[in-house]
Amino acid sequence: MKTAFAQTYTVTVKNEHKRLDLFLAEVSGIARSQIQRAIREGLVKVDDKVVLKPNYRLKNNQSVFFTPLPPEESKLEPEDIPLDILFEDEHIIVVNKPSGLVVHPAPGHFTGTLVHALLNHCHDLSGIGGVKRPGIVHRLDKDTSGVLLVAKHDKAHLDLSEQFKNRIIQKQYLCVVLGQPNQTWGEVNFPIGRHPTNRKKFSIHTKTPREALTLWRLREGYKYCSLLLCLPKTGRTHQIRVHLTAIGHPIIGDPLYLKKSRLGKIEDKKVRLILKQTPRLMLHAWRISFIHPISGKEMQFEAPIPDDMKKLIQEIKKASFEAV
C-alpha cells in the first residue's frame, strides 16, 4: 500500500462530530500519531481549507483531503540474511524462521535479527508508525522455529493485531516433550506471569497472573517422549513451554524449563544421551491461519518440520524400537 499518495475521504453521518485525527486513522489505517503530525504540518484540508488541529470536529458530507507523511528511514541497517519466504505480496510477508534467529533487536542482539533481514529483502515497506520498517505482528522465541506473519504497512499491521486480539488468528505448534501423557488430548488453563524469583522465566506461580489457555493433542507416543500438537488460544510469553512443564511434560531441549535431573532418571542410556545432546528447543510453529488484512481471503500457511526435529524423532523412534 503506497500511503505516500494523497487521498480524499467524504465524511458520512456515522462519522459526524468525530475528531479529525481519529477519523483519518480509521479510514486510512495509518497510525494516529502520524496523522497528528501530518495535520500539524498542514497536510490535511477540510473542504479545501487547511486544518491544523487534530481535535477538529467533522460535519456530515465534508471532504477531507489528506497527504500522508513519507515514512522515515529506519535507523537499523539492512543485512543480507537468507529468508525462507512462504508467501509475500504488497501487504504482508510470511516467513519460515529458523531456530537461532532473533526476531527483533533487543539488548544483546542489536544486529543479525529477522527485522534486519526483512529490511534488506522488502523494498515496498510504506511504514509502521511512521518508520520504514516491517510490522512484527507476533514473535517467536529465538530457539523456536517456524511460520511468522509480518505486516508491510500500518493498515495491515492494525488489522492483523486486531485479529490476534480477537483470537481470529489460529496458530498450531509441534513439539517433542518428555514422557507420555495418559490421555490423547487436553487443555491447560493456568494463568501465567513473570516468575517470582527468576526474571528470565515465566510461571503459573506468579504475583502477576494473566489468563492463558493451551489446547494440546497427542500426535505420536514413543517410549520416553511424545510428539504433541499445541494450539495456544492466548499469546503469553513462553506459554506453551510453561504450560507443558506444569503438566509434567517439558519440551526437549528447553534450557529454562527442562530440569537436567529428569533426563538423568531415564533408564535407557541411549535415549538419555540423545535427549541430553538435543541442540535446541524442540518447538516449531507449524501452521498459521488468518484473514488477509486487505482482500479478506482466508489464508493458511505451513512451515515444514525442520531437519533437526525430524532427526530427533527418528533417533527416538529407533532407540525405542531397539529397547523393546
User: What is the C-alpha separation between 118 and 83, in angstroms, rounded?
Assistant: 8
User: What is the C-alpha separation between 158 and 163, in angstroms, rounded?
Assistant: 9
Residue 308 annotated to the active site: no
Q: Which residues lie below 8 Å from residue 235, measured CB to CB, with a gap of 6+?
A: 138, 164
Q: Which candidate, 75, 152, 155, places its Cα nearest to that of 121?
A: 152
Amino acid in position 152: K
Q: What is the dihedral sign for C-alpha 30, 159, 118, 90?
A: negative
Q: Which candidate, 294, 277, 301, places its Cα nearest to that of 86?
A: 301
Determine which one of 21, 84, 89, 141 is catalytic. Answer: 141
User: What is the C-alpha separation between 180 and 57, in angstroms, rounded?
Assistant: 62
Q: Grid coordinates standing for 259?
A: 530440569
Query: Which sequence positions are flagged as catalytic?
Result: 141
